[in-house]
């Protein structure tokens, strides 16, 4: 059993943080610009409408969803890009030999993913909040769903990066799994507007609970009970972290 190495874990965390901070235009400014474009498009498309079934204006409903979607995508991108670049450059093997336990490596990677997601969230809220009335009615739910969502997506990016052999494999996961699940999770609409069959199908989408719970923290309304969904989100996050720890400990797909 390796001794605890907090300085080594901190160094890895700093490396991962500096990696995304050096390209701010791509990791921070670009998501903010994309969210603003979404807002402008839907403002002209939807006008001053309210969300059917929910006593809230559309833009107050939309903005938390845009923020959470950006957080999830950026957390996934942070770990997945680091892992696949390390695999292509054949440097992950050196990290496996470093005096760091599997849990320390996982914590460093996921902490950096959470930090990137939080930075993006703060920037987006500063830019988008003037366009809507957000009450921040449940700060604890905002933090819980924001952090758990970032950890979960960072973990999935970590595992996806370990599995991928090339950049095309990573693009396959992002374009055909992550993006569809995110866009179909109720970011732009209430799931109560869908036919009954699709409402049931959407309840198997984990991103739906993340976005709906996060939105509830801002505006106090949602499509599900966020306190029941806490167990679903918390359990999924824990399972993902355990999977990351185990797969790194055995060097899954990293020693080929």
Q: For the chain (length 256 residues), average pLDDT per consecutive 10?
A: 78 93 85 81 71 78 90 93 89 86 95 95 86 83 96 96 89 87 84 82 87 92 88 94 95 82
Distance CA 10, CA 17 (A): 10
Residue 255 within a domain: no
Contact 179, 41 (CB under 8 A): no
**What is the token pair recorded at 223?**
């499509």
Which residues is 50 bridged to in the sheet?
A: 57
User: Tell me, what's the pLDDT at 181?
Assistant: 85
Q: What is the pLDDT of residue 1?
A: 47
Does residue 211 fall inside a structural domain? Answer: yes
* pLDDT computed for residue 256 by the predictor: 66
Q: What local confidence, expressed as pLDDT, does residue 177 receive?
A: 87
Euclidean distance between CA atoms 252 and 249, whole angstroms: 8
With respect to residue 196, please indicate whether it lies within any of the assigned structural domains.
yes
HSE, side-chain direction, 13 A CA sphere, residue 110: 27
Q: Is residue 254 part of a domain?
A: no
- Hey, which residues does 57 pair with through a beta bridge? 50
Q: Is residue 177 situated within a structural domain?
A: yes
57 lies in some domain? yes
How far apart CA 208 and CA 185 sit, in angstroms, is: 4
- The answer to whether 39 and 131 are in contact (CB under 8 A) is yes
User: In 3D, which of 151, 138, 154 has the Cα closest to residue 227?
Assistant: 138
Residue 1 in domain: no
Domain encompassing residue 18 = 6-249
**CA-to-CA distance for 49 and 36, rounded, in angstroms?**
19
Number of domains comprising the chain: 1
What's residue 47's pLDDT? 64
């Amino acid at each position: 059993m390796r001794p605890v190495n907090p300085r080594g874990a901190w160094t890895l965390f700093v490396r991962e943080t500096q990696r995304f901070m050096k390209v701010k235009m791509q990791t921070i400014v670009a998501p903010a610009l994309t969210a603003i474009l979404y807002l402008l498009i839907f403002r002209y498309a939807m006008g001053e409408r309210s969300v059917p079934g929910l006593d809230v204006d559309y833009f107050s409903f939309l903005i938390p969803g845009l923020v959470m979607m950006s957080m999830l995508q950026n957390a996934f991108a942070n770990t997945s890009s680091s892992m696949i670049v390390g695999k292509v450059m054949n440097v992950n093997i050196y990290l496996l030999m470093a005096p760091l336990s599997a849990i320390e490596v996982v914590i460093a990677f996921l902490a950096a993913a959470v930090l990137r997601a939080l930075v993006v969230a703060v920037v987006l809220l500063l830019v988008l909040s003037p366009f809507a009335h957000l009450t921040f009615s449940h700060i604890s739910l905002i933090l819980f769903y924001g952090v758990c969502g970032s950890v979960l997506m960072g973990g999935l990016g970590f595992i996806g990066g370990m599995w991928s052999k090339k950049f095309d494999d990573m693009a396959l996961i992002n374009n055909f799994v992550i993006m569809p699940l995110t866009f179909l999770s109720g970011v732009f609409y209430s799931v109560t507007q869908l036919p009954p069959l699709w409402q049931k199908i959407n309840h198997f989408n984990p991103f739906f609970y993340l976005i709906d719970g996060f939105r509830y923290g801002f505006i106090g309304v949602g499509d599900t009970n966020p306190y029941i969904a806490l167990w679903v989100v918390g359990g999924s996050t824990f399972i993902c972290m355990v999977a990351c720890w185990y797969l790194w400990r055995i060097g899954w797909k990293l020693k080929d």
